[in-house]
Amino acid sequence: MGTYLDSIVAGHRAAAERDERSVHDLLVAAEGVPATRGFGEALRAGAALRVIAEIKRRSPSKGDLNPGLDPADVAAQYEAGGAACLSVLTDVEHFGGSADDLRAARASCALPVLRKDFTVDERDVVDARLMGADAILLIVAALDDEELRRFHSLATHLGLDALVEVHDERELERAVDAGASIIGVNQRDLTTFEIDRELAVKLAPRMPEGATIVAESGIRGVDDARTVAAAGYHAVLVGESVVTSGDHASAVRSLAEVAR
């Protein structure tokens, strides 16, 4: 891992060490939470490319994107544009997100919601379920093999889907070994912020049969979406291009009309 990911993950691990809450107590609380909406199922439905539209106020690389957004309004517009799922940043320090953003977005629509954050502890997984998320993100580069398997298993136990994110072939192998069935290829190098728009296509032939695959980062518009759809991807996760658009619904609709 490089400096960028190292520093963010270190901060989350330090916060987890200070967290005195009992995992057992959180699991008991999660027993009464309503059923999830089926994130993975939504990505496999239909013949068109599925769009995971992201609610993101800012990013470490670009700074402010849409800091004053109303998550409920943006989520409703994404849904109107044909998004299959939402992704909501809940990292406070680096992305300006919050659990309240996720709750507000989910309450305003019927779409499954991915909690986009840096999962480093069992309590992160259960917290996602408690705040109403339908799926969590597991970044292979941020976890060792034991953590990856443990968090994936816990998510499954709780009824959450897990989008397991990889950046290269070795990480893909680790994701498969951990039992990942929804695999995302992040085309952004988390050490340099550079985008490799050929990475998703390069890794497509390496994907395990039956996996639901998602292209992340570097999807600027319809042409990029068509390229990854032609390579076999079921979905794209798109943030900057849709959250900064003056017409969120139209920005999503143009991608959601791409055949796969």
Query: Whole domain around residue 204: which residue ranges?
Result: 3-256
**pLDDT tens digits, 183-202:** 999 998 777 778 899 999 99
Provide the pLDDT for residue 189. Answer: 79
Provide the pLDDT for residue 7. Answer: 85
Is the pLDDT at 2 greater than 60? The verdict is no
Provide the pLDDT for residue 1. Answer: 44
Split into its structural domains, the chain has a count of 1
Region of residue 24 (left: phi > 0; alpha: psi -120 to 50; beta: else): alpha
Catalytic residue among 59, 79, 108, 116: 116
Q: For residue 254, which amino acid is it?
A: S
**CATH number for 19:** 3.20.20.70
Contact present, 258 and 222 (Cβ < 8 Å): yes
- 186 an active-site residue? yes
Catalytic residue among 59, 66, 108, 217: 217
**pLDDT tens digits, 46-89:** 889 999 999 999 988 788 999 999 999 999 999 999 999 999 99
- 66 an active-site residue? no
Catalytic residue among 66, 87, 108, 186: 186
- 20 an active-site residue? no
**pLDDT tens digits, 18-41:** 999 999 999 999 998 999 999 999
- 165 an active-site residue? yes
Catalytic residue among 59, 79, 165, 240: 165
CB atoms within 10 A of CB 20: 5
For the segment 204-230, the average pLDDT, to the nearest whole number, is: 95
- 216 an active-site residue? yes
Residues in the chain: 260
